[in-house]
Each structure stands twice: as C-alpha cells, then as structure tokens.
Structure 1
Amino acid sequence: MKKHLSVFLFLFLMINAFAQKTVSGVVKNNEGERVPSASVTVEEPGKDAIIAYAISNSKGEYTVTFTSSAANVDVKIKAFNHKATTQQIKNDTQTYNFNLQTEATEIEEVKLKTRIITKKGDTIEYNLKEFENKNDRTLADVLAKIPGVEVNKDGSVLYQGEPLIKFYVNGKDIMEGGYGIINKALPKDAVASVQVLENHQPVKILEDKVPSDQAAFNIKLKKQVTMTGRAEIGAGTNIGESALGDDALFNAKVTPMFFGQKNQWVVNYKANNVGDPVENEGNLFSFGSRFEGTRRSNAQNSWLDVEKASTPNLPISRYLFNRVHYFSANVLTTPFKNKEWELKASGSYTNNDVERASYTERFDKLFNQTSTFERDNRFFTNKAKGELIFTKNAKLGFFKNVTTFNQYWNADRANVNLFDGAKNERKFSEQALESPSTSFQNSLSTIIPWKSKLLNLQSFISYQNDDQTLRSSPGNYLFFPGTIPSQNLFENAEKINQYFNIETFEANHSATMGFTYKKWTITPEIGYNFLTNDVYSQLTQISAGNQFGYGPAFNNDLKFRQSVPYANLGLNYKNENWSASIRLPANFTNITAEDPLRNLNQDFSKTTFEPSGFVQYSFASFFKTSVFGNVNYRFADVNNLYAGYILGNPTNISSNDFTNPVSENLSKSAGGRLEYRNPLNNLFFNVNYNYSNTKNNLISDFTGDGTGFGVLKFVERDNEFVSNSQNVEVGKYFPKYKSNVSVSFRNSDSTSELARLGDFYDNDSSSQNLGFKLNNSFFSWMSFDYNFTMGWSTNESIFASTSNESFNHNLNLIFYPIENHSIALNWDQINSSLAGQTYKNAFYDLTYQFAWSKKNIDFELKWLNIANKNLFERIDDGAFSTSISRIQIRPSQIMATVKFNFK
C-alpha cells in the first residue's frame, strides 16, 4: 500500500510543481471603474487555441491558471462596451492588472448561436437540444448522450462514474433522492439546459466553509412555471410460449408534474406485466450532505429465505415476469413569504407479483460430484411508504426534519426439485416465507449561527420490527450430515417451521461547533450512538398434525446492545483552487450480548481512531486532481453473536460458536483521481486508482455435503482481503458530426482466504473490462446508439486456474424513411465462455413509431425478442464449484402503445 501511495503522491507533486502557472489581477477601464464579467483567455502565441480562461467577478478581479511549455503566453481581455486588448506576458505566476478603453458596442445585426457546453466556476451547463435525436422523448433519453454521464434503467445517474449528491429541478429538490421518476418521465421539450454543479455543498450556510467532492444536477426548465408530464398506454400479447407470466400484456404510465416558484408536485401511477420494474424509479439514489442528517434506504432484516431461481446478466426487462402496480405522490410547497422554509410530503405504494424459474447443474470441486436443481418461485410484494420533510436552507441558518414510515407485507414461494447425482436420489420441497415488517425513522439536523461560530445539532432515531416465518415440506428434504445432533433429525417431519423475530432500536445524537479562521473551518463534534437488537427464533416440526419443538439448540433469545460515545475533529479548507476535508474521529465502542438459554454474557469494549478525508486541487482551468483515504473498524453485530441453529433457507442452517471472540474487522482504503473537463473542445477524461485492505479475526466456514446443503459457522483465524483497481474513461463530443464517443477500461485484482470443511485455501482473482459507447445523430435519415463491454477474468485456487470471458453489446439503430415515421432495430448480445464452453445469447427487437406532431402523440408498435429465445444459458465458476444455468426469460411478444406529453 505504501508503494502505491508514494507513487501517486510523487505524481501529484510533479503536477503541482511543473504543470501550472497562475495569473491574477484586476480589470479596470480608463475611468477607473472596475469591470465585471470580462472574459480572460490565455493562448500560446501564434496558435488560435485557448488553453485557459476565466471571468472577472463583481469587483473586476480575475484568476486564471494554465499549463504551457511556451516561454510567453497571450492574455486577451474582452468586455461589453469596452475595446478588446491583448497582452503578451512571461509564462510565470504573477499579478497583472488591465486597463480597458471604453468603447460603445454597436450591434447592427444579431444572430443567436447557443453554445453546446459552457463552464463558469464549478458549474458546467449543457444545451440539451444539441444532444438529442428525433426519437428521444424524455430527459433520461438525452442525458445518456452527454459526455461523462451514465443513466441506468431505473433513472439513476452517474457523473464521472460517481452518484449525484442532489438532483434539482429549477433549483428545488422535490424528490429528495428518489429522482428516477422525474428523469424517466420529464419531457425533453420542457428542459432548456442541464447544469452540473461540481464540488456541490447543498447546505448554503456551509458553502464557503465545508467543501464537497460530489456533483449535483440542476434541470433548468424553459419556463419558471411549468405544467408538464408524460403518459403512455399499451397492450399486447405473447406470440411465443412460456410457462411463466401472462399471455395478455398491458403497460400503463401516467406521470403529471407541476413546477412553480412556490409549489411543485409530481404524481405517478405505473402498472405493467411486461417486465418493467417501475417501482425502482422511486428508490433513493442520492442522500445529500451529512450535515443534512441521516438518510437511509429502508430495507427489511431478511434472515430467512426460500431457495431462489438464478437471474441472468441481461437487461431486467428480458427476464422479469411481473404484475406490478406502483403509485407515488410528491409535493413541495413554500408555506411562508420569505421562501426559506419548504414543506415536502411524499407517499408511495407498491403491489408486485414476480415469477421466476431456472435449471442449474452444479459441480462441487471438493466432492467431485454433480447435482441439479429446478427452482420455481413466486414473490409477492406489498409495500407502503410515507415521508414528511420540513426544511430551511438559508445563508443564515439550516433546519431539516425528516420523518419516514415504512410497512411491508411480503410473501415468497418456491417449488424445488433436487437430484443428487452421487446418491442417484431425487428430492422435492415446497417452501413458503411470510415476512411482515414495520419501521419508523426520524432525522433532525439544525445549524444555528452563534456569534462567529456555527452550532450543528443532529438527532436520529429508528425503530424496526421484522417477523419472518419459513416453512418447508416435507421434512426429509433437509439434510445436514454430521453437523447437527442427528443426521435424520428431519426425516419424519411433514413440515418444518422456522420462526424468527428481530426488534431493532437505534438512536444517534451529536453536537458540532464550527469555527472559521480565514479559509479554514474547524468542526469539533461529540455524539452518542446506541443500538439494541432483541432476537427470538424457534425451529419446530409438524408431524401427524402435531407441532413439536426441537429444543434449546434450535432456539435463540438474544439481547444485543451496542453503545458508542464518540468525539470527532473536522478540518475543512477551501479556496479558489484547493479544498480539503479531514475527519479525525475517536470511537469508544462497548458491546454486550446476553442469551440465557446458553448462559452467554459477552462484554466487549474497544477504543478506535478512524480518520478519513480527501484533498482536491483544481488547476489549469480544466484539470482537477484528488486523493482520499479512510480507516474503518467494524465489530460484531447481532448476526455474529447468536449461538442457536437458525434455518436461513432449506439448504443452509447456521449458528455461531459463542466461545469465539467478538469479530473485529479493520478496513483501510486509499486512492486518487485525475479529471479533465474542457467544454471548449468538448473533451473529458478521468483516471482513478483505488486500494483497500480488510483484516478479520474470524472466517466463515461452510460444512456441506456437495449438493449445497450444509452448516455455516465462524472460525477464529486471522485473514485478510486485499484489492486494488485502476480505471480510465475518455469521452469526446464532436458537435460537427453530432457524435459522442467514450472509451473506458478497468482492471481489478484481489487476494483472499476461504474456508470449507475446516480447511483453508488461498484465492486470487483478476478481472479486466473494456467499454465503448457511441451516439450519433448526424444524418437526418438515421441515428444510432452503440455500447459494448468486453470482460476477462481469472481465478486461481488450490483446485485449478480458470479463465472466463464475456462480451455484451447493444445496438439501437433508428431510420427515418418519411417525416414523422421511424423504424428502430435493437440488438442485445450477451456471450460467456469458460474452459472452451461458450454460450451465446442474442435478442432482437423491431419498433415502428409514428409521431403525430400536431398533437404531440406517438403511436408505437413493437416486436420484442423476434428470435423467440426463451432460455438464457450461462456458465459460472467459483472457488469451490462450477455451475451451468438455464433461466426462463420472456418469449417473443407484440406491444402497441400510445405515448403523449401533457403539455
């Protein structure tokens, strides 16, 4: 690790020492007045190419940083109603003031030409119209074509490979992280431009005090008051046969939106059985600044599960057999005249029914035997969420309170056929899981100015209750040889019942005082985090109509408590080029666990120092480099301290040896990043390096019989996981050809130790991925999007050295033969190979669309999966097993759809 850090630090210092010079000064006119908004550009003599630029501020001050090997550079100053001037100066850091002659600017004829990309400070603005093609309809369609931007199927956005910290519409964050709904349904014609706010600090009172290395998006609409939205209604049928799903298909999406200066609202109803997971669009994709309080994506504590069919590495719409209804509503209002306070309310409800089926051949390398599984699933989801947010975000104060309620009523089903090749024996199992869950969270954060200081008070409380009941019949399906009191414990049971309940309460309170000195902000913090888990579990069987318990060995009654008083010192620095944020926390962890069934009474305490932080430097106008690092300790949670057996799923029973010490996990990570973003020539690239080392005092050991049945325990043994990765991405937009091209490459290496049947094995793995993306809309009669990734991976263990290859590509080719008519061909290709075995999966779609331009209505006819491929084949290789899977996917189908904007 030290070697990698020293190399990066050397490069970092070389860049700072030799790569940049800075010129600053004041721009005045001949009347002695300071000139704001003057453009300052730096060029090499004799070359018509701008190497750096800046804009003078309201006081006429400017600073421009550049990189050049020339002895001299030309500095050009332009300002409205002033005569432009050029001055040649030495290529050195210096102060240079300019005096401009006033001169009236006469405009005889005006021609407006919109810039494609503009940059001012940390804000890059994209003219959205320059990136769209004729068939793009929503914001997400066009965002995917912007250099450095990735849009996922659920509407989430990555910028330079990293998630956003905020997603605003006209400067307001109505969705509070769940912005996928807007991204997928906001008509592109309502949008004027997209602003990327780099190094964005969303808390206004901290803007010049606490730096950020994350980016936000602001969607600027054409009108300050906009009523818009999108809807589509579709119907169709399967023309290929399938054992899953419905033959009659439907798709309905209705998302009206209103964006005003005081009020905003978004209402959304979506339902379909065509494999579109619309409920994921409301997931939390951004969580804001830590000073805004604690935001979490709520999830159930799922300790129990049925056996699940495999899923393919395909776009989810290719294999998802669903029947979903999803409703959500978000409202934002400013209830007071000063507009500093905002009230946000949101609610959502999901009802979903998913089917899944797969066939798997699994070869166990230790036992040298093959077993097969046929799994059929049915997953039922009912989920409701409500949230109320009250916020004041002003230069003189901050307040935010978030109250969230979640309720689940979920149920899963599985039918499993197992053939044990070694015993020539076939088994069958019917499995059912009921898992209701309730949770409540409240997060409060306020920042109060106090003289020259800032006081930040935060409070977070959370309560969650999870009930789970797993049933499997007949009992003789379960088989755990030599690992529990009797091999035939379940032989005569008609049904096995595993009941589990966990009740969780967490409270975290802290106070932070902020002191500002020049460019520094120092934030000492004290806090207290308290967590409780009460666990109860019981394993029973039903035989001849009577229910019997298996005794204390299969029960748990555990009370887990964790208290962590902590103190932290935050050091933050920010000026025009440099920003840094370092946290120096000391945590005083105490853990207790009581289990009266086993006379277990553990008490563990430890003090830890866990620093983290980043340093970022911007130079030469277009470059930004940063380094980061952190140290993190994680100790035993309730998952590590229960000692009675729990049937996690019908093939896996687990317990922990309570004589083991409390588990300790120490993670260290570090890395660096270099970015270049030049809107003048539309070129972007980033280079990243990441290193991590995780040390553990316990290792998980699975004792099984070769078919997948077994017991999971933890063994006391020091082990570590080491990984490092490097990736580079280069993107270029060619406005003359309306083409966006990007190439990326990633390499990752890791080493670890694995355990099975009491033996320990070293495992090394390596992977490489090459990606390419091209969008083109140059021709009036054609446009296309093309993406491909190629992957190579190797895995070396005691058993063998194996190599895998994969190739995925997507081509979306659209022809416009007649005005308002288009024909699109979509081709997905997914290949995988291992040890000479190759599986190729090709999918073709054909779409005809007529755009009724006068009414802004689209009529679409789509033929999906033309080749009627209904099985996906894949080969996977792991440290202990190799498996071949055949997975049910959606057959050929026809869909007719009407799509329109509300305005």
Structure 2
Amino acid sequence: MKTKFLIFLLFCCSVITFAQKTISGKIKNSDGEFVPSASVTVEEKGKDAIIAYAITNSKGEYKVTFTSAESDVDLKIKAFNHKPVTRSVQNTSQNLDFTLDTEATEIKEIQLKTRLITKRGDTISYDIQSFDSKNDRTLADVLKRMPGIEVNKDGSILYQGQPLSKFYVNGKDLMEGGYGVVNNALPKDAVQKVEVLENHQPVKILQDKVPSDQAAINIKLKKQVTMTGRGEVGVGISDPAIWNVKLTPMFFGQKNQWVVNYKTNNTGETVENEGNMFAMGNRWEGRRSNASQNSWLSVERAAVPNLPEKRYLMNNIHFLSANLLTSPFKNKEWELKANASYVNNAVERESYEETFFKKENFTEFNIRDNNLYTNKAKGEIIFTKNAKEGFFKNVTSFNQFWNEDRASINLKNSEDDLLNKNSRQTLSSPTGSFQNSLSTIIPLKSKMLNVMSYISYQDDNQLLRVTPGNYVFYPELVTGPGSVPVFNNIFADLPEVSQDFGMKTFEANHSATMGFTKKFWTFTPEIGFNYTGNSLNSEILEFANAPYNQRREDFSNDLRFREAVPYVGLGVNYKSEAWTVGIQLPVNYNMITAEDAGRSVNKDFDKITFEPSGFVQYSFASFWKAALSGNWNYNFATINDLYGGILMSRPTSFSAMNPDNPLSETESKRAGSRIEYRNPLNNLFFNVNYSLSQTDRNLIADIDRGIGFGIISYIEQDNQIVSNSQSAEIGKYFPKFKSNLSLSFRNSTTTSDNARGGEIFENKNSTQNLTFKLNNAYFSWMTLDYNFTTGWGKNSSTFGDSETGSFNHNLGLTVYPVENHSVTLNWDQLNYSSGDQNFKNGFYDLTYQYAWAAKKVDFELKWLNIANKKVFERVFDDAFTYSFERIRIRPSQFMVAVKFNFK
C-alpha cells in the first residue's frame, strides 16, 4: 500500500517537472508604446491546439509557462488594432520581445460574443447566461450546469470536489458562510457572472504573505444596487392538506446588504439546512462552527431511506432568518453584521426492521414510530475591519434549543419475550450556549501581531423516560471495586425508567502570533493555551432506588473533566507565482484530569506531542495545479470515554467505562496528493486524488449484546485502522451542444481491528462508486438533467463475507410544447442488492408550468409519486448484522403553486 503511494507521488513529481518551459518578454507597437491586453498563446505546431496562454499587463509584459514534448511550438500574439504575429520558437525557456505593426480592425457588423469561461490570474469567471436553460430561475439552477462546480440540495457548493471557504455577493460576505439561502433564492436574471477565486486568502493584510489552497466564489450582480429575491406559494391535496411557502426578499447595495427569509412547508423539504454554515473562512478569522447539542441520550429512531428527502420526510417546518450587513462609519472598511434565525419543526417517522445478530445468533423484530420536535433560535453579531493596514473580527453568538422527541416501540426477538414491548419513550433536551470569537492582526512596521481569543459556555440537560421499564439483563456478574458495573438481577415490571443527564461545558482558546516576512517567505511563531472543562451528572432514577443487590453509585455519574493544552508553534509559509507552501509545526503539552470518587474514577495524564501539518501546491503550464498535503495528530480521552456509572444512552443501549482502563490515545497520520486541470479555453476541468491514512489506538470498543440491549465496554489492546482512497473527476462543457458532462469514480478500502463479545478480529471493507451527470439544453423544445450513481462493496470478517450493490438514477426531462409552457417528468430509481436479494424502488413526478414572462411569474401544477408507492425496502449486511428494513414514505400528492421574483 505504501509502495503504491510512493509510486503515485513520483508520478506527480514527474508530471510537474517534465518539460516545463517559460517564455516571457514585452510587447510594443511600431510607435514604441506598450501594448496592454494583448493575448499570447502557445500552440503545438500544425494542431491549432492551445496549450497555454497569457494576457499582457499595462506595461506590455507577459509571462507564459507551458509543458510540451515537441521540439518547437508556435507563439501567437493578437491585439486589437494591431497585426497578429505568429512565430515558431524552440521549446526552451527564453525571453522574447515583440513589436506589432498597427492596423485598423475593420468591424463589418457588431456581434458581441462573450466567452463562456475566462481565467485571469487566480480568478475564473463564468458567464451565467451561457449556461442557463429555459426553466432555470435561481443561481443554484445555473451553477449546477457549470463545469467544475457542484450544487447540493441545501445550496452548498463544491468547486473541484472541495467546499468553498467564502461566498461573496458583489465582493461582500453578508451570509458569513450560511449562503444556502441566497444560492437557492437569488434570481439568475440579477447575476452578471460567477467568479471562482482560487487560492483565496480572505484576510487582506495576509495576502501575498500567508497562502491558502482554498477557493471562494464571488457573485457579481448586473447592478451595484439591486433589490431582488424569490417567492413561492403552493398548496396541495393529500391527507392532511399540504403547503409550501417561500418568501426571500434581498437587497444588495454598496453600503448595505440584507436578506430576509421565511419558509414553511409540510412537503418534505428541509429548508432549515440552508442556514447552516458551509464556508468557515480560515483560521486567521477566528473560530466558527455550526451550533449543536451534546446529544448523549436519544429515543429509538425509525430508519430513514437513502432517498431524496422529499420522498420520505413527514415534516411541518417553519424557518425564519434575517441577515444584515452595514458600514456604520465613513471608513467603509468597518462592517457590522447581524444574523438571526428561528426553526420550528415537527417530523414523523415509521419503520419496520428485522436484524439478525451473527455472533449472538438471534433476530430482533422492531417497529419504530417517531414524533421528533425541534425548536432552536440563533442570534449573531459580527464586527469586522478587513484592510491592508490591519484586521479585526469579533463574532458573538447565542443559541438556544428546546427539543422534544417521542417514540412508540414494539420490540420482539426470536429467543425471549421479556422485552419493552409496546413501550413509549420521551426525551426532553433543552440546551443553551454562548460563544465569542475575537481575532485581530496589528501591523508593527515590517511585522504583524495576531491575537485570537475564543470562549464558549454550553449547558445541556436531557431527560429520557421509558414506559414501561421491563428489562432482562445477564450474565450475573458481581460489581466490584475497579470493575465495570453490570446488572446482576432481572429488572421487570417497573412502571417507568428515567435517565436524567446534565452537562456543563466551558471552553477557552487564546493565542498570540508574530509574523515576519522576508521576500517570498513568511514565518509565524505562535504561543497559545487551550482549555476545556466539563461537569457531568447523570442518574437512572428508578434503578438507583430499586431494592436490588446493586449499588446506587452504579447508576449515576458525578464526573469532573479538565483538559489544558499550552502550546508553541511555528508557521512556515512561502508564496511565489508558481509555488504555494503552508506548514504548521506545533508542539503541545497535553494535561488531562478526571475525577468521580463515587465510581473510583481518578485520572491524571500528561504528554508532549508534536503535531505537524501542511500543504505544498505548484501551478504550472497555465492550467495545472499539483498539491501534496498531510498531517500528524494525537487525540486523547474526552469526557465521553471516562464515565464510570451505567448510562442509558438509548432505551436498548447501556454503557459504562472501566475506571481501571488507561486513557484512550489515538495517533493519526494522513498523506494526500492531488492534481487539478482547469482549462477555460476548452471548458474542461478534472482532478485526481489519492489519500492514505493510519490510525493507531490503545483501546478497542466492545459491545456485549443481550436480548434487546447492549453493554459497551473497552478492551486495552493496541489496534489500528488503515484507509486508502483514490478518486477522479472530470467535467466538460460542450458549447455547441449546450451540454455539461461530468464523470467521477471513487475507490475506498478500510482495514480495522474490531471487538464483539470479547473476541477481537480484523474487518476489511471496500467500496466503489461511479457517478455520471449530464445537463443538456441543446434543443429549444427540451432540456435534460440526468444523474446516476452505482456502487458496490465487499465486507470481510471472522463472521464471513458479504457483498452489496446499489444503483441510483435521477432523470429530469422537460419538454416545451408551446411558448411559455413546459411539462417535466422526474424519475428517481433506487435499487439495492445483497446476496441473492434485490429491491427496486421507483418514483415518478409530473409537473406542468406556465411562465408569464412579462411579469416573471410561474404557475405550476405538480403530481408527486404518481405510482403512490408507500414503503421503501432495503437490506444491509456487515460484519455484525444482517438487516431488512421497510420504511414508510410519502404517498401520492397534488400541488399547485405560484412562483415569482421580488422586482
């Protein structure tokens, strides 16, 4: 495996170094004046194929780097009102100056043709009008047709398979990473072009000093001041009645920008995900993350199918958000942003599952029926200054959750009948949190001082109730000092079992960095201190008070956990026209303490670790980029690994940790390589990736399955996980056929040590996926969107081998029989196989739309799930279990809707 990786790296290096040549010089006219904006192209002789190009600057200077195996190439220079020049030159690095004769360019008729994709430096620009089709209405609709770009349903964007670091509109970052709302609601007619900013460093004072290998997107609007947005109102016939309302007005000005968004539906759209942060910026801007609960407890949940959510999600969602950006001072470098959102969502789920446990040799039959309620609110205030003379950013966030989950469970098994049959489960889980992130960069003559501070406080409270509380636990083992608590009696006929849980978490990260720049090099020595403190309290109330031979302490926790990590580090950065290097060299002193006297937990641990990370990127021959990256890091025990009392995380899952076990240590090493090709001249994009990782652990998790429950423990033994993956993706736009075509393949193999019931064994899992996408708008009377993914895999372990396969395709065919009228057929097909069993799931939708072009209003009639399929079936086979699932999905339904633009 390592040999393959080294061969691949040598191949990358050979591609980089093979026949790289650079031609540079100046271009003047016969009057001795410099010629700006002249195009310089390198072409292979006799093939009329451009292999590299450059544009002269205001001083007439050009520089073009290329790779060719030919002994000679053609160099062509073209400029407006000048005679073109073609010269055959040797394939060597050289300096060539040219003098162009002036010649008036005769224009017989005015024809303005915009190039589909252009590249200037690190900026790639897409002309949006060249990619849209008749039924496209929003930015997201058009982006998915552009080569090199992928758009997910929630509005998140990938460029060359990687997530964005920033999303700008007219150069301003209003949404602070939560750009899905804008992407899904910004009318395409308001957009002039889409700019991809490669190697984007968002902090201006660090540009040309601290490099970045991430890309950003800037949406350039047609007007500097734009009032726009998108709305939709729809109702439908079903049981119960259905609705879908979307109202997203937005304003983009030079000083102020705002977006207000309200969406509600019960049609299966998770519109609340549009508010998630997809672009996190970089570390110099401070710390950003999506707010979440520490969800230790949960009810038994029904399975969800691998289908588009609109097929199965039984929801009732209200999502309200508002984003504001303004420049409060005359100095426009200062910006104030205020963001707020509220989500109220109710979800119903229902599934039937048969699970055969291979080692334990019994089968469970489970019917799950859920009602899941989400209430969460978020407020955020951001104050920034981003200038060449300095940087300041402070983010203050408040989050509150009021979640309630319900479950009705019917559980049986093939061996015993003493289970929670027809049990009712409830979970109440309120959470409140506060975060503040500050980062500032102050220039000190030729140096820079960066100070960062992050503090966070979160209070999680959860109460899980199970009614009735009938359990069978075995084997009978006596609880002793320093051992894992186990049940040594049968608990039966309890009217209710309640798990109470509470945890308070405080986190603080502080650091100071000094930056020194010397030519192309920037060195950033850093000193910092990270601290995490947790206070965990839990108790299984009825078990602790029951008159059995069990200690009360076995069913409760009172754990205090602290982790302090002072560290020093050095950042080494290099930035030139072709090379980009970013390396971090931190040394950490890890100190961990954990105390819970009632459970004999008393841990005190310290260790010094060196955890380097970095990347090297090389750009060559105009269109190519090659990169190597890697990291080496350590992770140690968290509070999740150290509680000594029994915890009911789910009504059928109990866990406790052995206090005699050492703290868990995980050492992870990863190396990766990547080659990219982006050629706007022929609209071709592709990338190839290879990744190898190894994780070494000192503890291995073990689950001892009983009838209807499981006990989790840890075995002290060195074990390993080794993963390697290869992927390739190619995308090309064919202007003549108005078609965007992409093909991707991924292969992944993971070998790991696992434990089951005290037995340790090796498990090997390999998966392969092939994906094909086609968007075609060649015919004036038809557009076609087609995606298919096929996957196959094999799992091998002590318990035998299993093979699985899947096929998934999505077809969207739109026909325009009459002007402004369209009919669309959507067909989703998902097939699964395991062994000799096959399941086929097909879904069909039909949509009629009338476009009132003058008013930019659409009237729509939809028939969803024409076949009225009500369940989804699949099988799952792995090292431990074989499962068959039948999941309730949405029935056939009819909808009418009106869609419109705001201005």
Which residue in 2 is equivalent to 1:242? none
- Are 1:306 and 1:412, in contact at CA under 8 Å, matched by a contact in 2? yes
Contact 2:16-2:626 at 8 Å conserved across structures: no
User: For the residues of structure 1 that align with 2:544 and 2:694, how far apart are their CA atoms?
Assistant: 50
Q: Which residue of 2 aligns with 1:24?
A: 24
Q: SS of the residue aligned with 2:214? A: coil
Aligned with residue 272 of structure 1, among 265, 276, 283:
265
**Match 2:368 to one of 369, 375, 390:** 375
| Higher mean C-alpha deviation, range 464-473 or range 483-492 | 483-492
Q: Which of 292, 300, 315 matches 1:307?
A: 300
Aligned-partner residue type, residue 642 of structure 1 = Y
One-letter code aligned to 1:456: N
Match of 1:562 in 2: 563
Aligned mates of 1:528, 1:444 — CA distance in 2: 15
Quick one: which amino acid aligns to residue 827 of structure 1?
A: W
- AA aligned to 1:684 is F
Tell me the residue number matched to 1:438: 432
Q: Is the 8 A contact 1:678 1:684 kept in 2?
A: yes
Show CA shifts across 1:145-200 (max 9, x none). 11121111111111111100001111111000000000111111111111111111
Matched residue, 1:823:
823
Secondary structure of the residue aligned to 1:569 is strand
Distance across 1 between alignment mates of 2:147 and 2:504: 47
Do 2:701 and 2:713's aligned partners in 1 also have CA atoms closer than 8 Å?
A: yes
Task: Name the SS of the counterpart of 2:798 in structure 1.
Answer: coil
1:86-110 CA distance string (max 9 Å, x none) = 3322101122222334455555643
Distance 1:113 1:813 in 2: 29
Q: Does 1:767 align with 2:754?
A: no
Checking the alignment, whether the CA contact within 8 Å between 2:543 and 2:555 is kept in structure 1 is no
Deviation at 1:74, TM superposition (A): 1.7
The residue aligned with 1:211 is: 211
Counterpart in the other structure of 2:614? 613
Q: Which residue of 1 aligns with 2:388?
A: 395
Q: Distance in 2 between matches of 1:352 and 1:490?
A: 36
Which residue pairs with 1:528 in the alignment? 529
Is 2:195–2:219's contact at 8 Å kept on the other side of the alignment?
Answer: yes
The answer on whether the counterparts of 1:494 and 1:543 sit within 8 Å (CA) in structure 2 is no
Instruction: Give the whole-Å Cα distance in 2 for the aligned partners of 1:410 and 1:489.
Output: 33
After TM superposition, the structure 1 = structure 2 runs for residues 380-529 of structure 1, keeping only pairs within 5 Å, are 380-423=373-416, 427-477=421-471, 479=473, 481-482=475-476, 485-529=486-530
SS in 1 for 2:147: coil
Structure 2 CA distance for aligned equivalents of residues 655 and 769 of structure 1: 38
Inter-partner Cα distance in structure 1 for 2:443 and 2:405: 52
2:355 maps to amino acid: R
SS of alignment partner, residue 92 of structure 2: coil
- Counterpart position of 1:323: 316
Q: Partners in 2 of 1:902 and 1:725 — Cα distance?
A: 46
Amino acid at match of 2:532: L
Q: Does 1:286 align with 2:287?
A: no
> Which residue number corresponds to residue 15 of structure 2?
15
2:857–2:900 Cα contact (<8 Å) kept: yes
Superposition pairs for residues 135-146 of structure 1, below 5 Å? 135-146=135-146
Contact 1:473 1:496 in 2 (8 A): yes
Deviation digits for residues 53-81 of structure 1 (CA, Å, limit 9, x no counterpart): 01122333221111222211121222344
Deviations 1:686-724, CA, capped at 9 Å, x for gaps: 11101110010001110112x551111111111111010
Please report how far the alpha carbon of residue 480 of structure 1 lies from its aligned counterpart in structure 2 after TM superposition: 5.5
**CA drift at 1:447:** 0.8
| Structure 1 runs of 4+ with >6 Å offset | 542-550
Cα offset for 1:296?
1.1
Cα distance in 2 for partners of 1:212, 1:13 equals: 21
**In 2 relative to 1, CA 525–59 (structure 1 residues): closer, same or farther, beyond 3 Å?**
farther
The answer for the alignment partner of 2:480 in structure 1 is none
Alpha-carbon deviation of 1:83? Answer: 3.5
Paired position in structure 2 for 1:686: 687
Contact 2:465 2:496 in 1 (8 A): yes
Q: Does 1:660 align with 2:661?
A: yes
**1:50 Cα deviation (Å)?**
1.5
The one-letter amino acid paired with 2:629 is F
Residue 854 of structure 1 aligns to a residue in which SS? helix
Q: Is the 8 A contact 1:475 1:491 kept in 2?
A: yes
Which whole-Å CA distance do the structure 1 matches of 2:644 and 2:317 have between them? 39
Distance 1:485 1:209, change over 3 A: closer
* SS class of match (1:133): coil
Query: Using the alignment, how far apart are the partners of 1:73 and 1:116 within structure 2?
Result: 26
**Which runs of 5 or more structure 2 residues have no equivalent in the other structure?**
478-484
SS of 2:502's partner is strand
For 1:544 and 1:39, how far apart are their aligned partners in 2?
A: 84
420-429 or 788-797: which moved more? 420-429
**Distance verdict in 2 for CA 1:632–1:126, change over 3 Å:** same
Moved more, 541-550 or 666-675: 541-550
Find the aligned partners of 1:857 and 1:547 in 2 and give their Cα distance: 70
For 1:736, the equivalent position in structure 2 comes to 736
The 5-angstrom pairing of residues 630-645 of structure 1 reads 630-645=631-646
Are 2:27 and 1:34 aligned?
A: no
Aligned to 1:243: none
Amino acid paired to 1:459: S
Question: Matches of 1:404 and 1:458 in 2, distance apart?
Answer: 16
Note closer, same or farther for the CA distance 1:71–1:351 as it changes in structure 2 (3 Å cut): same
Paired AA for residue 202 in structure 2 = P
Indicate the residue corresponding to 2:183 in structure 1. 183
Would the alpha carbon gap of residues 644 and 192 (structure 1) be closer, same or farther in structure 2, given more than 3 Å must change? same
CA distance in 2, matches of 1:210, 1:104: 46
Instruction: State the match for 2:88 in structure 1.
Output: 88
Q: 3-state SS of the aligned residue for 1:308?
A: coil
Q: Secondary structure at the match of 2:110?
A: coil
Q: 1:160 to 1:485 in 2, by over 3 A?
A: closer
* Partner residue in 1 for 2:100: 100
Shift of 1:550: 6.4
TM-score (norm 2): 0.97
1:362 to 355, 360, 376: 355
Q: Does 1:601 align with 2:606?
A: no
Partners of 2:557 and 2:599 within 8 A in 1:
no
Q: Distance in 2 between matches of 1:234 and 1:177?
A: 29
Residue-by-residue CA offset, 1:478-497 (whole Å, 9 max, x unaligned)? 64554755454531321111
Q: 1:102 to 1:397 in 2, by over 3 A?
A: farther
C-alpha separation in 1, matches of 2:667 and 2:731: 37
Structure 1 stretch displaced more, 34-43 or 434-443? 34-43
Q: Displacement, 1:756?
A: 1.1
Letter in 1 for 2:804: N
The CA deviation string for residues 772-813 of structure 1, in whole angstroms up to 9 with x for no partner, is: 111100001111100000101000011111110100000000
Report the equivalent of 1:224: 224
Code of the residue aligned with 1:386 in structure 2: it is G
Distance 1:180 1:574 in 2: 32
**TM-score with structure 1 length normalisation?**
0.97
Aligned-partner Cα distance in 2 for 1:570–1:898: 55
Identity over aligned pairs, percent: 62
Q: Does structure 2 retain, via aligned residues, the 8 Å contact 1:480–1:704? A: no
Matched AA of 2:712: L
- Contact 1:345–1:388 (CA under 8 A) maintained in structure 2: yes
**Number of equivalent positions:** 895
Deviation at 1:396, TM superposition (A): 1.3
**Cross-structure match for 2:482:** none
1:12 alignment partner, SS class: helix
Aligned-partner Cα distance in 2 for 1:544–1:868: 51
Q: Write the distance in 1 (CA, Å) between the matches of 2:576 and 2:486.
A: 67
1:891 has 2:874 as partner = no
Report SS of the residue matched to 2:305: coil
C-alpha displacement at 1:30, in angstroms? 4.0
Partner of 2:245: 252
CA shift for structure 1 position 33: 3.8
- Distance in 1 (alpha carbons) for counterparts of 2:887 and 2:5: 45
User: After alignment, is 102-111 or 449-458 more displaced?
Assistant: 102-111
